[in-house]
Amino acid sequence: MQAGVAINPHTPVDYLKNILGDIDLVCLMSVNPGFGGQSFIPATINKIKQLKQMITEQSLNVKIEIDGGVTVENAPSIIAAGADVLVAGSAIFNAGNPKETIAALKAM
């Protein structure tokens, strides 16, 4: 079993500094929870970078998951910032060809 924690868009990643060694995954919400189809909050990119740096500095094996507003268009920058897991809902379910969208996201 693994342990994870999720934080809302306006929660600073610094709050996780003292518990990173106890968890396996951090889910950064990149939209305000509750409503599908919201746009990705661009400030999340800096939070990903900051969290990745904290993980690296502590030599930890903690995955970063991003949930909210993930699309084929913004996924490359999210991955480049340090994300390991992407949650894409509306981008897939509203796509003309969901299988192609899934394949495109997996290929990144």
Residue range 66-93, pLDDT digits in tens: 999 999 999 999 999 999 999 999 999 9
Q: Does an H or E element contain 53, and which?
A: helix 44-57
Domains: count for the chain? 1
Q: Which amino acid is at 66?
A: I
CA distance 13 to 106: 26
Per-residue pLDDT of 20-42, as tens digits, reads: 999 999 999 999 988 888 899 99
Helical (H) or strand (E) element with 63: strand 63-67
Q: Which helix (H) or strand (E) holds 75?
A: helix 75-81
CATH no. for residue 13? 3.20.20.70
